[in-house]
Amino acid sequence: MSRPDSASQRASDDPLAGAEPETEAFWITGPERGQIRATDVLTRAAVAASEAAESVVEVETLYSAVSRGTESLIFSGRVPPQEYERMRAPFQEGEFPYPVKYGYSNVGKVVSGDEQLNGQTVFSLFPHQRRFRLPASAVIPVPERVSPERAVLAANMETAVNGLWDAAPRVGDRIAVVGLGVVGLLVAWLANRIPGTRVTAIDVNPARADIAQAMGLQFDSREQRDDHDLVIHASGHPAGLNTALSLAGMEARIVEMSWFGSGEVSVALGGAFHSRRLRLISSQVGQVSAVQRPRWAYSDRLKLALSLLENDALDVLISGETAFEDLPLTMARLAGSSDELCHRIRYS
């Protein structure tokens, strides 16, 4: 297997110079093309962080997950140049548009390093790679009541938590969630646990009905009521945002959780948008919500997300599983799929 160009051009004073490949990772190598490549356990992306860390751990991956929305955009080369820096994953290697090693949902077992973490199952924002080293502070232990198989949902749950922090739902709110991918379903599930709320989970795909209902949600494909206090859009499609606007009541809040990449979005800001004094709010998971930021570190939010995955009902969000070595073909298939939810990658 060929090594990444960035790894083959190391300077002679690089402490990793001359190291033999020790593991494998998935790289996006071109528009809708991927490859399993040899790489070092301590990747260049983790070198600086590891040198500054008090403790470093080595992790053997058990499962990772594909973020179908974001990773499909990257796999298709649809990240706008002005967003290259903001879109970087914490331990990304390579540069957009490609070749790039990208991903942020990894569950593995600590096999060496920090004595307190040895043998523990941990979550990290690491790409699809069999084995890797990174600072001990960059891994979060998975709670005992959360299976490693379900823990891959942590990054999605973290996004849902941040979106609800931005949305600030209240007791008794009438809430509509438009777009039932993994994040939209998690947002609706969390909002439905707030006392007195009326939560409607909306998607044009009828296949989402059984999943929503299994999570205890009220599903609708054609909601008509426009009395909602809060509408959250997570479909990733411009038409979904216009649907969200049409459902908002007087002075309601619409939270946009979708990211459209380089696509242009036409939004119907005529009609009742001004007369109803609607508020359109963006939510972005790269930073802790401004409301919580003074008290919550990024790791605190991720720990909360993991703790919220204890419910077995969330297993319905895993819609498929394939082997790591099949990831190039899997990504090509997922990029064109509309029915897939969280796709789990299995490592042997």
**Tokens describing residue 106:** 């990894």
pLDDT 10s digits, 269-296: 888 889 999 999 999 888 888 889 999 9
Domain boundaries defined on the chain: 5-155+297-346, 169-282
Tokens standing for residue 212: 């929503």
Fold of domain 169-282: Rossmann fold (3.40.50)
State the pairing for strand pair 174-178/33-39: unpaired
The tens digit of pLDDT for each residue in 68-101 reads: 878 988 999 988 899 898 889 999 999 999 999 9
Average pLDDT over residues 249-266: 85
Among the listed residues 269, 305, 271, 265, the one whose alpha carbon sits nearest the alpha carbon of residue 164? 305
What residues contact residue 226 under an 8 Å CB cut-off, 6+ apart? 246, 247, 248, 249, 272
Please, are residues 192 and 214 in contact by the beta-carbon 8 Å criterion? no
pTM of the model: 0.89
- Helix/strand/coil for 230: strand
For the chain, give percent helix, strand, coil, nearest 5.
Answer: 30, 25, 45
> Using CA atoms, how far apart are residues 138 and 142, in angstroms rounded to an integer?
13
Pick from 121, 120, 132, 71: nearest CA to 96: 71
Same fold, 5-155+297-346 and 169-282: no
Cα four-point dihedral sign 192, 197, 202, 207? positive
- The yes-or-no verdict on residue 148 having pLDDT over 80 is yes
For 5-155+297-346, which CATH superfamily applies?
A: Medium-chain alcohol dehydrogenases, catalytic domain (3.90.180.10)
Backbone torsions φ then ψ of 55, nearest 5 degrees: -145, 140
Q: Read off the tokens for 164.
A: 């609800």
